Structure 1
Amino acid sequence: MSKLIIPQGYKMPLSNYELQRAIELVKAQFQSSICSSLNLHRASAPLFVDGATGLNDDLNGVERAVSFDIPDVGTHGQVVHSLAKWKRLALKRYEVPMGAGLYTDMNAIRRDEEVDNLHSVYVDQWDWEKAIDRNDRTMEYLKDTVQAIVDCIWQTARCLRIAFPAITFSPSNAVHYITTQELEDLYPTFTAKEREHAICKEYGTVFVMQIGGLLNSGVKHDGRAPDYDDWTLNGDILMWNPVLEQSFELSSMGIRVDETALDKQLSLAGCDDRRTLPFHSMLLNGDLPQSMGGGIGQSRLCMLLLGACHIGEVQASLWDEATHKGCEEAGIVLL
């Protein structure tokens, strides 16, 4: 069933040809900026991994991976959901020095995604991971990195407005930091999503911290797998979307679990069976580098900076018939 939202009077400010050029500019400019800012270098990324290794991102633990047999290899491949765990293993394999990192141009399929204006079964993002010192596992280091990423977004938006004067969106690079518990205390009667809308409408750019554990109310703000982010040192970068008039998530990121955090979170999540998987065993034994990382949505960033109301305007995917019909009637071109 279509969940399409078309704002009253909406019109994409660029022609179809200009839109493709603008998407190219956003991706090239942001990629260059973040690599320079965070000291990242490109690494080739897998489209699929061995399902028996535990390397695939389990997201909220209920999403089904696209799986297929590989007879000549003798195993089943899983199309990745994201590369959260693979990247940390890659830091070790590629002998990435402390203070440097890698990024990948990641493409994924999330077959169980509920598609709407913001969500597609096709995922494209910059997945990045950086080797850090154990002493850098602090809130201050996390916030400094968030600010660096937001500054890259601000710079990309500035370049876009210069190249395409019809684009007027200017994001705020003044980040408001708030924990999920502080957010619940501030808006106790709101749902998690309503809280995000309210705080973003007030501040423009927000980093919502400490996602994954239970709040005082006994519920989670949002789900997080227990085996990559440290739930006390992670968060989402959100910006206010003036076209859709709601908060807009651009990145999920954080400082990764160390041995102690992984041990605790596996128990809290009821996932103790993962301890014997190759990735988890290496982590619990201290064989993987300390790191931080995240994913930054490519189509999400293009959508926000270009003023698109539907993610299908900036990426090619599959949509239900009602969405196609509604967009056609509104003059919205889905790629």
Structure 2
Amino acid sequence: MATVGTRRKARARRAATARALLATLLVAGLAAGCTASNGPGDDERGSPRTSRPGGTDETHGGDRPPVLAVKIDNVPAARPQTGLESADVVYVEQVEGGLSRLMAVYATRLPESIGPVRSARESDLELLRQFDRPVLAFSGAQSRLLPLIDRAPLEPLTPGTPGSGAGVYVRGTTRSAPHNLFLQPRQVMDDPPGRASLTTGFRYGPPPRGGEPTSTRTVRYPAARFTFSWSDARDRWLVSMDGTPAVTARGEPVAPATVVVQHVTVRPSDYHDSRGNNTPYTETVGSGTATVLRDGRAHDVRWSRPDASDGTAFTTDDGTEVNFAQGQVWVVYTETT
């Protein structure tokens, strides 16, 4: 078998784009240090992993380079995260014990480093079906979940076994495992895939009419809390996590242009962590209500995603499509009450 380093150098040019991307991601192993401690549901078990060669996704026509999606740790020991400010979309989902984890999606910018990288969940596979064979970077997964990941229309990118795949993942020296694993995205992609790869269904443009002036909005999980506060000076929503302002690795505020509080069904899955806690499954296909926060106002809207291969549409009560502000979007999934 060729080494990971050799395989990592094998790239193919897509005929429909001038951008050179990785066409074959061959990565072995699960991350050492991906344990249940401080991260419920993580599991080191499983045999070395090898991703499938890149291909086309018949759902979207197969002519777009893949986005990069990264599972990012979000317990206090993992903050501040690195590279989060460069993501086009950040999804927030509930995990075991009422904690939260982030899924950051990159299409227009690739930072130097992203992390800390953590493990995948079953509901990630449904969420990512809207993209054309995305690259999913994660530290590992429960062994029972690995066959589902192998069959999913995505390219799994996990850390290599010791001594292999040097440069794709690195361990930071200022934090302890498992909160110190970082992805170097330019070892995976030469260039960002571009905005056309963001097949989320999101629209950008002028704000909808109406809305309520809103200075702050808080979303609570059983063991996590997110507050979004409008800043006129920055023309952005400032993020706080568990009562502490969220900042980048450089100390700048994390500040999305649009925040979507999306009410969804959160149900038990078939998976549990090592402590016996059930892994929540967040249903992102279906329909329901949401609140779109932009420009200091809150708009109550409807969301619809009829099929996993579709993006999510947001409309007003009269069916008018809702535009988001230009810039980063945070989508916070919260249980329908």
Tell me which interval the TM-score lies in, with the shorter structure as reference length: under 0.3
Name the structure where strand makes up a greater proportion of residues.
Answer: 2
TM-score (norm 2): 0.26
